[in-house]
Structure 1
Amino acid sequence: MSWLDYLIIASYCLAVLMIGRWYQQRNRTADDFFLGGRRMGPLPVAASLFVSWFSVISYTAIPGEVAANGPGVYVGLLAAPFALWFVGWKVIPRLRFSQTVSAYKIIEKKFGVFLGRFASALFLAMRVAWMAMIVHIASSVILSPIVFGRSNRATTWTLAVIMVGLTDCIQAAVMFGGAVAVILIAGKEVVWNGQNAPFHVDWPVLKFCDPWARASVVTAIVGSLSLGICVKTDDQMNAQRFLAVADSRQARQVLFGGFALDCLLTGLLACVGVCCLMAHGSSPVSVADDLFPRIVGAGLPVGVSGLIVAALLSAAMSSLSSGINSCVSTVASDWFQPMIARRSSQGITILATVGLGIIIFILSQIIGVIEGNLFELCYKVVNLLATPLGGLMLTALFIPRARVRMVWLGCFLCLAVVVYVTYFSGITFLLASPLGLAVQLTAAWAGRK
């Protein structure tokens, strides 16, 4: 990349840090730090929710997945209407009624402190692994580990939900701009100017229902429905955004707005994947995840590469800032404050933020041994604990009379099913979440008082 590309990246990072510093000085209470004082507008919160979902893993995984295997797994978006209805009209009102900073306080109130702490520990483990993978991918694809690590630690010090909401609006625009730039420029080169290699695809045939195939219509829909409900119900990052607005109606606007942006960018990145495939000439399963970064680094004009790198960096920084904020709110609310009642809540959050940042940095150096398609890693690693955690939240919200021992049993059975289906069975990993969730909720329902 040229000096202009690096200037664009540096200007972007400086702007985000200045905004963060300004809002950090305005925070007065832990409620301001975690929920923006519960007075934020739905539009910036929807943008924040969207870029929290759309990590740098998703931003780089979608083009590679489409280039290697086609758009078959995204048939699961057909399940979105029911998932949005269920979360918007069933989950959000119950969540807002609890009036808590940590979503896992609901589990603690229903089933006791040990199960509540276990739920928050599941969330922390899931999100720490997710953020470590983001740091690893972003540092290896975008910048050197030293530069990225420094900018991220600086972001951590200026963390606050209002700052995240405002900067996420900027980051969402940059992410969309980067995808559109690749389509217009790279697509023009390979289509209109005829500079592509002979075009050939070897995508798997998409069957209607085949549990042994990588993806089919039924397994994609059922898997997306189950995992989508679990992620949108159990994730502290989502809960914070649903609680950061005034009422349930605005929370539903946040949910629908974030999903609309998610679908739009998914479609754009799928087109990016097709452009990458046309430039390469065939379906390169082994190197599909590298095609997008290669085009960014070598196939775009001066200045545009800097814009795309800024888009990838925005996805990484936004996800990390949101994830660290949510993890810190969970640690401070569920673990430290009950034991250290006299300590300042702001002091606790700062200590937890620094400690979490150190852990994420260390894990990001170890996570390089992970192999496999980035899209599959989202299911097999990042979301491995999402289903048992989502099952705990759904049990607390909809089966409050379940016996505690049956809730524990259902959670461990769900975890066993998810791990077995994902790593040891011959059926598709898309069915791990629905099968595990069905076992967990059945055990809780059968054991109710």
Structure 2
Amino acid sequence: MKQLPLFDIAVILSYLLAMVLVGVWFSRRNKDAEQFTKASGLIPGWAIGLSIYATFLSSNTFLGVPGKAFGSNWNAFVFSISMPLAAWVAVKYFVPFYRATGEVSAYTNLEKRFGPWARSYAVICFLLTQLARMGSIFFGIALSLQALTGYSMETIMVVTGICIIIYTVMGGIEAVIWTEVVQGVIKTLGAVLIVYLVVNNMPGGIPEIIEIANVNGKFSLGGLSLDLSSSTFWVVLLYGFFINLNNFGMDQNYVQRYHTASSVKEASKSVWLCVLIYVPASLLFFVIGTCLFAYYGMNPDLIEPVKLQAASEQLGASATQEEIVELAATLKPEDYGDKVMPHFMVTQIPAGLVGLIVSALLSAAMSTISSGMNASATVFLEDIYKRYVNPRLSAKGQLRLLYTATAVFGIMGMFAGVAMIGIKSVLDAWWQLSGIFAGGMLGLFLLGIISKKARGGDAAIAVIAGVLAILWMTFSYLIPEHYGYLRYPLHANMIIVIGTLVISLVGTGLAAMRR
């Protein structure tokens, strides 16, 4: 088992304790559901912007992005490039709309527009997306801390999950936002520190890194052909635009924050501040992955333990040492990319700094998970319990339900993380799951905006068509080889794009046919 120095352990424990104390501090203000979910609309725009940034910059970014850059190139950075356009649409249309409705839930308006079923459908999509998001983040943090401590991934998820649940349950959205402000700063400084340490350990420094990266095509943003069956520049750009539009325009995590601002102007500023910080910050993590590729390219013996670990996980506990060594020799960088940064942290970061890096990694996980827990609990209260069980629930009853639901969703997120143990790329897993679960939700909302004449029946048929399309795109790989022509031919990242377009266009077409 890896033994961390006492100083590093003290730093990590101090950070976890501080997060719990933040929840205790803000718990005194939570007198009703509005304070728990909206913070009474008194949060400044700059704090909300840093909070949204911290939610975006999860452990999926902290681990998955360097892993992708190490294993392939900067193709995934195109996701960040798409953010400004999605933010512009959100600020122009979505933010003013939500502020005007005054509804804390992002999905209440769908019932007014298309009926109760539409609201329930969107809620199911959102909750599934949140479980996938929280699970992938729990998995990411456990992957790193296992390398650092030797504890099982399940144990790490439980311990970190308990800390997150305590401060999120006690503090509400206000605690979530202010802890995310601190976490956003910590995780950014952690990334800068890692870049410095890699470059400092690299013979030849930055010029050598650039040369190795150029030779291996690491700076490529993807091909510019119109091929939608591979991860080209255009596929990632389309995926990024639709996912980011879904985030800014339909995701309860972000919509709820718009209501914590004092005005539409402050809410809009928060979106732009998030984009302004996130785009260069995400680039920093691609730089980390590229630097690690160059470093281990110059020191191939140092990466052998990672390859052996990846081979062992693929073969299972019954594999012999000879089999593991044989498979490890054939592995490519993309097969073990997510494990490289944790390995560097274990072997190359000096004692005394590991605690700071782990705290940054913890902050990357905790910010997104706490946000997802709070948003999921809010949706459960507003869109499920008050809608179908007890619309006249007392103020104290609402607060108790929010506490309980927050804890339950945190526990479910931990179970989702355990279920993901063994996946190759945490970033790929999250992108695919979010595309599957979120596609229909965004399409339904866009239908309500695009076609003023679309009715509930049109929307229902459109959603059925969209869900069938998403199911086909997701599971058509199971079709036997001799019926290969029936398989989905495009890249998995196009699922959200096609699913969204099918729902919005089918619904619009049905409405137009009635004229």
Whether these two folds match at TM > 0.5 is yes
Q: Tell me which structure has the larger Cα radius of gyration.
A: 2
Does the aligned pair in 1 maintain the 2:432–2:492 contact within 8 Å? yes
| Equivalent residues, number | 448
Aligned 1:222-241 pairs, distance under 5 A: 222-241=238-257
Q: CA deviation at 1:192?
A: 4.4
Write the letter of the residue equivalent to 2:446: L
After superposition, give the CA deviation of every residue in 1:36-90 in whole Å (9 maximum; x if it has no partner): 1112100111111111122211221110111111112323444334322211111
In the alignment, residue 321 of structure 1 is paired with which amino acid? S
Q: How does 1:372-411 map to 2 (within 5 A)?
A: 372-411=424-463
Q: 1:429 to 1:249 in 2, by over 3 A?
A: same
Determine which of 400, 413, 436 is the counterpart of 2:499: 436
- What is the alpha-carbon distance in structure 1 between the residues aligned to residue 452 and residue 263 of structure 2? 24
Letter in 2 for 1:438: L
Q: 1:171 offset after TM fit, Å?
A: 0.3
Structure 1 22/67 Cα, relative in aligned 2: closer, same or farther at 3 Å?
A: same
Query: Which amino acid in structure 2 is aligned with residue 431 of structure 1?
Result: M
Identity of aligned residues (%): 20
Cα displacement string for residues 263-296 of structure 1 (whole angstroms, at most 9, x for unaligned residues): 1210111111111111221871111111111111
2:36/2:172 contact within 8 Å kept: yes
Which position in structure 1 is the counterpart of 2:412?
Answer: 359
Q: Is the 8 A contact 1:385 1:415 kept in 2?
A: no
Structure 1, unaligned runs of 5 or more: none
Q: Helix, strand or coil for the counterpart of 1:129?
A: helix
One-letter code of the match for 2:5? S
Match of 1:128 among 128, 131, 145: 131
Query: Does 2:212 align with 1:149?
Result: no
Aligned partner letter, 1:168: E
* Map of 2:379 onto structure 1: 330
Q: Deviations over 1:198-253 (max 9, x none)?
A: 94636589321242553223222222222221222110001011121122211111
Cα distance in 1 between the residues matched to 2:281 and 2:495: 26
Which SS does the other structure have where 2:349 is aligned? coil
Q: Match for residue 364 of structure 2?
A: 315
* CA–CA separation in structure 2 for the residues paired with 1:390 and 1:275: 37
Distance 1:73 1:440, change over 3 A: same
Is 1:187 matched with 2:199?
Answer: yes
TM-score using structure 1 length:
0.93
Which amino acid is the alignment partner of residue 307 of structure 1?
Answer: L
Match of 2:83 among 75, 80, 83: 80
Moved more, 413-422 or 258-267: 413-422
Structure 1 residue 427: Cα displacement: 2.0
- Aligned position for 2:142: 139
After superposing the two structures, state which structure 1 stretch, 1-10 or 405-414, moved more: 405-414
Matched-pair contact (CA < 8 Å) for 1:402–1:444: yes
Amino acid of the structure 2 residue aligned with 1:355: V
In 2, distance between residues paired with 1:111 and 1:142?
46
- Rate the CA distance shift 1:267–1:349 in 2: closer, same or farther, 3 A: same
Q: CA RMSD in A?
A: 2.4
| Correspondence for 1:342 | 393
Alignment of 1:241-280 (within 5 A): 241-280=257-296
Question: Is there any run of 5+ residues in structure 2 with no aligned partner, and where?
Answer: 147-155, 301-331, 478-487
Residues 205 and 98 (structure 1), Cα distance of their counterparts in 2 relative to 1, 3 Å cut: closer
Q: Distance in 1 between matches of 2:13 and 2:414?
A: 22
Q: Quick one: which amino acid aligns to residue 72 of structure 2?
A: N
Aligned AA (1:372): K
How many angstroms apart in 2 are the aligned matches of 1:72 and 1:57? 16
Taking a change above 3 Å as real, the CA distance of residues 365 and 285 of structure 1, as seen in their structure-2 partners, is closer
Q: 2: distance between equivalents of 1:64 and 1:149?
A: 24
